[in-house]
Amino acid sequence: MDTKNQLIEKLENKTAKVAVLGLGYVGLPFATVFAEAGFNVIGIDPDERKIEALKKGESYIQDVPTELVAQLVEAGRLEATTDFAALAEADAVSICVPTPLRKTGDPDLSFILSVTTELAKYMHPGMVVVLESTTYPGTTREILLPQLGDDTDLVVGEDFFLAFSPERVDPGREDWTTINTPKVIGGITDACSEVSATWYRGALETVVSVTSSEVAEMAKLLENTFRMINIGLVNEMAVMCDRLGIDVWEVIDAAATKPFGFMKFTPGPGLGGHCIPIDPLYLSWKLRSLNYTARFIELASEINLGMPRYVARKVQDALNDQSKSLKGSNILVLGVAYKPDIDDLRESPALDVIGLLEQSGAVVSFHDPYIPFIKEEEFELQSVPDLMSAVKAADCVVIITNHSDYVYAEILETAKCIVDTRNALGSAQRDNPKVFRL
């Protein structure tokens, strides 16, 4: 039996040893799902704290229950190590490392490059490798293949199999999970697509095979660019409606009554998170290298990046209404996580709003039930311990993230004035003189 069919047999009977490189919000759910499905999984991550926690049977990811980790570790289904040498025994490897942006706005592939260099040391015939990290089209073929194939004399599609499958993890979501969210996967060759899809079908409910790794890479970028551009559109609608004296929230609700051909997005203080503000810039960066300007992405990014400043101006208008200046005023920011009811601060526009207000001399504090403190280069702040006394003391309260924990009626009653960037107070406050809305 040839290498491909031997590997397929091990994947189908789940005797294949699975390795997951990177145990963050994508890697740990992936590792537990494949372990639950019956594979023996070893998680590899350079962060000792993560490995120690997992060895003790503890989860550090909101969506992965500690009881599940404990049970899988106890059963010997899930192991964890910082040592990449564990890859020597692996048959199926999933790469789930971060793909952030550099300060320059260019893609930072350093995490992919470092784990690929390690993986190349342990490559052997009969391995399948799948990259999950969001990246520009061509990364799997141009970056991983040379290191995993050419440098090891292994022939892709015969000795080893290489594919891309975009992660679709939405932190905090309970309806769509790693197991039931349809998973797109595409290989360097047809045999790579076949082997990798066989592996994934051993644990995931719906696996959608596409003809190449580039199609899979681009599908993910379309998904998230679609969101980023539509959020940019409604943010610009908010600015235009403000100029026109029209309630943008009522406009959007009215448009959303259309049962077809429309998808509701809402304006906000900017674009946060680990995906939406970042992934599209991987695409525009790649196209620039091909002398093409991805105008929609660049325009939407410009609009979204301008929203924190737009909000800071709203705060200035609200204070001006009380004949107060920004300088010296006490501003309370409510909600700093990048979206409601989660504890993730990555790329949160709240950080930009706070920075801008502080630059104008305002005295800024924040409250967030999920985030106890903020440690940025420009400032460090603790979440205020007593919410309502802080609301009462503030010259202006700014709702940046509309966590469902807040009792907005009480905040409305107590605050001197409120800038509501999420329509958290509802359109009934449209004519309330102390409420300023996007």
Give the residue with the Cβ less far from ligand SAJ, 149 or 308.
308
**Annotation says 241 is catalytic:** no
Give the residue with the Cβ less far from ligand SAJ, 299 or 393.
299
> What contacts 263, CB < 8 A, 6 or more positions away?
230
Per the DSSP assignment, residues forming a β-bridge with 316 are none
- Percent helix / strand / coil, the chain, rounded to 5: 40, 15, 45
Give the residue with the Cβ less far from ligand SAJ, 198 or 225.
225
Closest residue to ligand SAJ: CB criterion: 273
Q: What is the DSSP string of 314-356?
A: HHHHHHHTTT--STT-EEEEE--SSSTT----TT-HHHHHHHH
- Secondary structure (3-state) at 112: helix
Q: What is the DSSP string of 189-247?
A: SHHHHHHHHHHHHTT-S-EEEES-HHHHHHHHHHHHHHHHHHHHHHHHHHHHHHHHT--
Minimum distance between the CB of residue 213 and ligand SAJ, rounded to whole angstroms? Answer: 18
> What contacts 54, CB < 8 A, 6 or more positions away?
23, 28, 43, 69, 73, 78, 80
> What contacts 337, CB < 8 A, 6 or more positions away?
272, 343, 344, 345, 348, 350, 368, 370, 371, 401, 403
> Roughly how many angstroms between the first and final C-alpha of the chain, as a whole number?
65
Asked if 98 and 111 count as a contact pair (C-beta separation under 8 A), the reply is yes
Minimum distance between the CB of residue 408 and ligand SAJ, rounded to whole angstroms? Answer: 17
For 372-385, letters b (16+ CB in 10 Å) and e give eebeeeeeebebbe
Minimum distance between the CB of residue 384 and ligand SAJ, rounded to whole angstroms? Answer: 22
Please name which of 365, 376, 378 lies closest in space to residue 331, comparing C-alpha atoms: 365
Give the residue with the Cβ less far from ligand SAJ, 19 or 337.
337
Do β-strands 435-437 and 380-382 pair in parallel, antiparallel, or remain unpaired?
unpaired
Give the residue with the Cβ less far from ligand SAJ, 121 or 173.
173
Give the residue with the Cβ less far from ligand SAJ, 223 or 253.
223
Minimum distance between the CB of residue 434 and ligand SAJ, rounded to whole angstroms? Answer: 24
Minimum distance between the CB of residue 191 and ligand SAJ, rounded to whole angstroms? Answer: 28
d(CA 384, CA 366): 6
Minimum distance between the CB of residue 97 and ligand SAJ, rounded to whole angstroms? Answer: 15
> What contacts 287, CB < 8 A, 6 or more positions away?
293, 294
Minimum distance between the CB of residue 347 and ligand SAJ, rounded to whole angstroms? Answer: 8
| Residues within the interface to ligand SAJ (CB under 6 A) | 167-171, 223-224, 227, 231, 265-266, 268, 271-273, 275-276, 338-339
User: What are the contacts of 420-424 at 24+ separation with CB within 8 A?
Assistant: 421/267, 421/268, 421/269, 421/311, 421/314, 422/266, 422/268, 422/269, 423/249, 423/266, 424/399
What letter does residue 437 receive in the DSSP assignment?
E
Give the residue with the Cβ less far from ligand SAJ, 331 or 400.
400
Q: Which of 96, 192, 241, 275 is catalytic?
A: 275
Minimum distance between the CB of residue 297 and ligand SAJ, rounded to whole angstroms? Answer: 15
Give the residue with the Cβ less far from ligand SAJ, 231 or 435.
231
Catalytic residue list: 275
